[in-house]
């Protein structure tokens, strides 16, 4: 399976780069998340290379995977960052990220978050409502600072993706309606502590075709022309993220096809720096969740493989009915059966995969593929389950980049009243 380039079988054993997954399980236990640094590096370089000579900035969407080691690897490659909370800002700074390459998105920025981002001198606030704009001006005024600002405009483009991750329709909570954009830009121009820096949109996540991106880009360029007639200077055009990855049979555009299409659509505007905010397409197929089979349960109706990972570790199948390929770490000649891959959490919704044809024995290890994005970052402690360890592999070097939580960690902040 070519889209898992860092995960391959050698002598019937599944490897990540030059390390057998079984060796990682033996050393660090399961469940654990495992990331390939080569896969992340190669995705970043594919974006960089595709832009060619075009003035651009890649702002990695921290929410996809916010581990400090992932952020540090990207910062060292020269990446910028797209954050959606004050916590993500602190992670970026801790990981050595450049605040001058950081944009702050999100509909509900608090005053404290605005203060922290202004103090850090971030590149731009992606403002999502008129009230937010007024609040940002007020906070910047109190701090005697000027807030660089871009309005996130909602282009009303159907991204043809899961309704929970479609963000650019007029009924979504995100962004400023296109019809309101000029009025609010005119307001921004009057506010003393706001400096208009850019124009921003983001239409959704896991998009598998180029057309919605291009439709949104053209709508943004039409708006850009109108803003220029109002003597509003736009320094950068932020076209968001959302490029899909292959989980199963999807055929999303390649990184190169996607970037080339954006560059072509904006070729008449070379003076505007082009920003993009990729998350999943940078890390999705660079990570797996490794889990062990606890029990096999056969009934006349269904076969269950009960594993030690659960919906608290990887929520996407339960939340989005998302498909993740599941591969055994050992290829064997035994008879395959149709299995439901389920976890120990007390919910019928706790599953990682339905109807998977596998040859399994107790204690087998399974790799849940394409788990590098929105895996660990969405995980929880439901059922008082400590969160998994995270491992970064570089060639034959294995780094523990987040230790497994203990149960004591989970109740450390709790108190029984006297």
Provide the annotated binding site.
Answer: 242, 277-280, 316, 320, 347, 374
CB neighbourhood size of 111 (10 A): 12
Pairwise CA distance, residues 392 & 30, whole Å:
15
Q: What is the end-to-end Cα distance of the chain in Å, rounded? A: 58
Half-sphere exposure of 204 (CA within 13 A, CB side): 27
- Read off the tokens for 45: 């370089």
Binding positions for substrate: 280, 316, 320, 347, 374
Contact predicate 96/123, CB 8 Å? no
Peptide bond preceding 94 in cis form (omega within 30 of 0): no
Pairwise CA distance, residues 79 & 59, whole Å:
6
Between the alpha carbon of residue 234 and those of residues 114, 230, 278, the distances in Å are 22, 11, 22
Catalytic residue list contains 346: yes
Tallying the residues shown for the chain, one arrives at 418
User: Which neighbouring-strand residues pair with 298?
Assistant: 303
Contact predicate 91/414, CB 8 Å? no
Pairwise CA distance, residues 273 & 284, whole Å:
26
Please give the positions annotated as active site.
Answer: 346
């Amino acid at each position: 399976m070519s889209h898992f380039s860092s995960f391959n079988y050698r002598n019937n054993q599944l490897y990540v780069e030059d390390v057998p997954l079984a060796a990682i399980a033996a050393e660090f236990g399961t469940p654990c998340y495992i990331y390939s640094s080569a896969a992340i590096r190669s995705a970043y370089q594919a974006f960089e290379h595709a832009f060619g000579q075009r003035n651009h900035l890649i702002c990695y969407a921290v929410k996809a995977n916010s581990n400090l080691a992932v952020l540090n690897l990207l910062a060292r490659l020269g990446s910028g960052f797209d954050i959606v909370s004050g916590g993500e800002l602190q992670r970026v700074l801790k990981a050595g990220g450049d605040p001058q390459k950081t944009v702050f998105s999100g509909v509900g920025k608090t005053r404290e978050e605005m203060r922290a981002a202004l103090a850090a001198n971030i590149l731009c606030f992606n403002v999502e409502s008129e009230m937010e704009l007024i609040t940002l001006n007020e906070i910047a005024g109190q701090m005697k600072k000027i807030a660089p600002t871009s309005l996130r405009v909602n282009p009303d483009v159907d991204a043809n993706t899961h309704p929970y991750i479609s963000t650019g329709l007029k009924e979504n909570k995100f962004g400023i309606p296109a019809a309101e954009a000029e009025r609010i830009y005119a307001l921004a121009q009057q506010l003393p502590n706001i400096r208009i820096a850019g124009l921003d949109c983001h239409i959704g996540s896991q998009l598998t075709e180029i057309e919605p991106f291009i439709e949104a880009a053209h709508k943004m360029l039409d708006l850009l022309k109108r803003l220029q007639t109002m003597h509003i200077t736009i320094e950068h055009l932020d076209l968001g993220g959302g490029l899909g990855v292959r989980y199963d049979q999807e055929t999303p555009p390649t990184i190169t096809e996607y970037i080339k299409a954006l560059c072509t659509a904006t070729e008449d505007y070379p003076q505007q720096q082009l920003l993009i905010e990729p998350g999943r397409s940078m890390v999705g197929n660079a990570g797996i969740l490794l889990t062990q089979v606890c029990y096999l349960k056969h009934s006349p109706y269904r076969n269950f493989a009960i594993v030690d990972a659960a919906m608290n570790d990887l929520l996407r199948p339960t939340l989005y009915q998302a498909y993740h390929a599941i591969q055994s770490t050992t290829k064997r000649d035994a008879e395959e059966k149709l299995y439901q891959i389920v976890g120990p959490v007390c919910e019928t919704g706790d599953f990682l995969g339905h109807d998977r044809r596998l040859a399994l024995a107790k204690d087998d290890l399974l790799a849940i593929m394409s788990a590098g994005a929105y895996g660990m970052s969405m995980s929880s402690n439901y059922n008082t389950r400590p969160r998994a360890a995270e491992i970064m592999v570089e060639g034959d070097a294995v780094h523990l980049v987040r230790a497994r939580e203990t149960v004591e960690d989970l109740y450390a902040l709790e108190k029984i009243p006297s």
